[in-house]
A and B are shown apart, each in its own frame.
Chain A
Amino acid sequence: MVWKISDETAYDTLGDEVRLTINGVTIRAPQDQSLLVTARQNGFEIPTLCYHRDLPSEGQCRLCVVEIGEHPRTQIVNSCTYPTQAGLVVQTHSETVVQSRRIVLELLLARTPKAKLIQELAAAHGVYESRFKTDDPEELCILCGLCVRTCREVVGVSAISMKGRTPDKQVATPFMEKSSACIGCGSCAFVCPTNVIPYTEKDGIRTIWGRDFELQACNVCGNYIAPKYQLEHWAKITGDPVETFCVCRDCR
């Protein structure tokens, strides 16, 4: 049996519809779809930071936690990985849940005081300043792992990964050196919710993860499309000649 937490994109592959209760409202939803999606589809708001509909959830941020079960036998689970099941009783804003979310946001605010996303999300939960200590006021990475998962699951090259443990953990290329696997696509920087992945483009060169990538200009209009390396990667996986990709989307 392969356990797969399904997403709204794959609605038709889901199991039978089941009944469950969210915040006292009985709803119907496909079995095994994640509780987060079920709740959101039915208008229940659950905050998230590390969730992305196109990526497998790993439950890092712990903002999407909900309380399941009935008093006194309740349990806190993260809704992004918990499957929708018949008869579940879910509370998206119980006292424990709200309190946990506030502490998590307060902790993140202490970690990344300048991250706009965190400031806004914290304020939305009534957290305007953190009682905790900040080590590095310039820190912006919340370790949500979206970049790592995008590189692995969407781009398919796994050029970056998490390194180390504790709050010193960081996203890095292997051995902190220039990665030969990186194709310079910049998906990691694109998906990053706090814009922390450094990435510059100057004179036809894109610099990311310490490596320079020569950009390919469009054969028609001359605007830069993407790193040559990335186009070669596309050519390799599609089997089409590189030239196919040397015309930008507008000129095609």
Chain B
Amino acid sequence: MPRFESIDHLREYRRQLMAKRDANQPQVLVCAGPGCLPMGSEEVAAAFREELEKNGLAAKVVLKECGCHGLCAGAVRVLIRPQEITYQHVTSEDVPEIVEKTLKEGQVVDRLVYEDLHTQEKAAYKKDIPFFKGQMPIVLRKLDIIDPTSLDDYLALGGYRGLRKALMEMKPDDIIDAIDHSGLRGRGGGGFPTGRKWRICQEVEDEPKFIICNGDEGDPGAFMDRAVMEGDPHAVLEGMIIGAFAIGASKGYIYVRHEYPLAVSRLQLAIEQARESGFLGKNILRSGFDFDIKISRGAGAFVCGEETALIHSMEGNIGEPSPRPPYPAQSGLFGKPTVINNVETWANVPEIINLGADWFANIGTEKSKGTKVFSLVGAVNQTGLVEVPMGTTLRQIVYDLGGGLRQDREFKAVQTGGPSGGCIPAQFLDLPVDYDSLQSVGSIMGSGGMIVMDTSSCMVDVARYFINFLYQESCGKCTPCREGLKQILFILDEIIHGRGQEEHLGLMEELCNAMSAASICGLGKSAVNPIRSTIKYFREEYLAHIRDKKCHALVCRPLLKYTVDPETCTGCLACVRECPVGAISGKKKMAQEIDQELCVKCGLCYEACQFEAVKIE
């Protein structure tokens, strides 16, 4: 890799790179994203390597292990270019057939392609799969085609063009104007206008200034930032360098959680490559601008995703938030002005600079521009990462992209924005998703988690799950969040155990009001969303638990009652053998009975019975 001494040098290098690359050359792109890697992408890639070698195709076919392909439900995924054939559930045993049929003969291996669950129609090409059709990838655009360890791959797709434009054609003020004009808002959840944040920091007269990339993604079930850091690390770096130039920062940090070792090593490699090529370090591209980036690893506290807590953690102090003002843009890391943005925000920056603020501002809704990456998980058929324009409705995301609910169950709620998001019921399925509309129905955009729930979920149990998570992760600094979450958790436990009272609902609402008003940081302020939204939209469910002592979704174990239907019971004693507490008794070949006093409601009898004689209510 050469060190780029000038813009012409970079342009010339890119031209040569493009000339060397044949767009029609066959490529095998194995997904090595967060979803596919544990399912065996490495074995699949190794099998391809071996098979290509065996067939003498190693020189002809390009094999790459890429970032996330998106549709994680089909792990391990393989994309064959230039035809854009996608295969799913690929194992190393399938590889010889793919090489033989697709790479040699140009045919599609039918059994490995996507099949629509309802129509049974098969779709071999990426463009035909509904999951990909409704998407508009900007941040995820390059993930499934580039090798994240190759700077050449990034350059060949126009990488560092945004930086070149920013350094050569724009002044810092122009960059901030462009970001401002594009309408980009913080993708970490707060939705603060990025341009305004940069402007505040730029205008503070203090040196040095810092740039931080917040990669402390901690929401359960969310992996958007991880996929970007692992799959397209240079995009994050490029965004940061542009940002640094705009605000006049000399040093940048990427705060990545320790649980993302692959993201750390990919970013580290990308930083080294960027230093070697002159995109980082002294006198970047001979523009006179100096900037360098370091990785700082988080130790795994959820609250460290909050910007002030993150900064304290980086300084070596306890990762607890502090009251604002001062805002980090005024006084952040080591008391110096600091711009802190989320991974996805940074990854949007190069494209905005490269393609223009107008282009970006044309996407999305009036107040929320651009696209948003969601990790679509839960009870949908097609789980994975989706990137859609702001304003796409929940219905489109759940039904068109997600392929509807598993086993055609009925939709109950979707929880957006991580553990402190609200549960949105079916009546709002046609809600266009953006920062403000989500807030209007009691939820948040958050960093983009989207958990779909069907009727088998009990909303009291769901609320308890999230409150328990937040309770454990509350840093304990301020009283309302620390003590309030504990008391809400206690009340939910009472309700789940059939000891709930109707006053409890009002008490929880009172607690929610105090927590959202008086907590220091976003964790405590937004922790009330799961409670408020479930009480508002699923009040009957709480009342069923409290008044009737019933959990209609059959989830809250203490409220369940197991009985044996004497009509269907054959007296096979299968349940008797399974029961760990000896609660089931009766004669052989006669109907059995469950002693409710002894029963621990483990459900083993229900599973053991082959005649569906054990009933739950």
Q: Do A and B come from one complex?
A: yes
* Chain A residues in the interface with B (C-beta under 8 A): 1-3, 58-62, 65, 76-78, 81-83, 96-97, 99-100, 103-104, 107-108, 110-111, 131-133, 142-143, 145, 161-162, 164-169
Q: In the complex, A110→B204 CA distance in Å?
A: 45
B325 at the interface (CB under 8 A from A): yes
Contacts of B301 in A (CB 8 A): 165
Which residue of the partner chain, among B326, B482, B511, B514, contacts A169 with CB atoms under 8 Å? B482
Specify the chain A residue showing the minimal Cβ separation from B504. Answer: A131
B326 touches A96 (CB 8 A): no
Would you give the shortest CB distance from A228 to chain B, in whole angstroms?
31
- Given known pairs A1-B206, A100-B513, A131-B507, the reply for A60 and B331 (CB within 8 Å) is no
Can you identify 7 A-B contacts, CB atoms within 8 angstroms? A59-B322, A78-B518, A81-B323, A104-B480, A133-B490, A143-B479, A162-B320
Would you give the shortest CB distance from B374 to chain A, in whole angstroms?
29
Classify chain B: how many residues form its interface, as a range: 35 or more
Which residue of the partner chain, among A1, A103, A145, contacts B514 with CB atoms under 8 Å? A103
Q: In the complex, A169→B303 CA distance in Å?
A: 15
- Given known pairs A3-B330, A107-B483, the reply for A58 and B476 (CB within 8 Å) is no
Specify the chain B residue showing the minimal Cβ separation from A131. Answer: B507
Which residue of the partner chain, among A59, A131, A132, A133, contacts B478 with CB atoms under 8 Å? A59
A59 touches B520 (CB 8 A): yes
A3 touches B326 (CB 8 A): yes
A96 touches B513 (CB 8 A): yes
Contacts of B472 in A (CB 8 A): 165-166
Specify the chain B residue showing the minimal Cβ separation from A80. Answer: B323
Q: In the complex, A145→B318 CA distance in Å?
A: 13
Contacts of B520 in A (CB 8 A): 59, 62, 78
- Given known pairs A3-B326, A83-B325, A96-B517, the reply for A162 and B482 (CB within 8 Å) is no
Chain A interface mostly: loop
A76 touches B517 (CB 8 A): yes
Q: In the complex, A110→B473 CA distance in Å?
A: 21
- Given known pairs A3-B325, A165-B475, the reply for A62 and B480 (CB within 8 Å) is yes
Would you give the shortest CB distance from B516 to chain A, in whole angstroms?
9
Per-position 1/0 for B325-340, Cβ under 8 A of A? 1100011000101000
Q: In the complex, A108→B482 CA distance in Å?
A: 10
Contacts of A97 in B (CB 8 A): 517
A166 touches B474 (CB 8 A): yes
Contacts of B507 in A (CB 8 A): 131
Which residue of the partner chain, among B320, B471, B518, contacts A62 with CB atoms under 8 Å? B518
B105 at the interface (CB under 8 A from A): no
B484 at the interface (CB under 8 A from A): yes
A107 touches B323 (CB 8 A): no
Per-position 1/0 for B449-475, Cβ under 8 A of A? 000000000000000000000011111
B477 at the interface (CB under 8 A from A): yes
Q: In the complex, A245→B107 CA distance in Å?
A: 92
Which residue of the partner chain, among A58, A59, A108, contacts B483 with CB atoms under 8 Å? A108
Q: In the complex, A65→B485 CA distance in Å?
A: 19
Specify the chain A residue showing the minimal Cβ separation from B473. Answer: A165
Q: In the complex, A83→B326 CA distance in Å?
A: 9
Q: In the complex, A187→B486 CA distance in Å?
A: 31
Contacts of B487 in A (CB 8 A): 107, 110, 132-133
Q: In the complex, A183→B126 CA distance in Å?
A: 69
B519 at the interface (CB under 8 A from A): yes
Which residue of the partner chain, among B318, B325, B335, B518, contacts A161 with CB atoms under 8 Å? B318
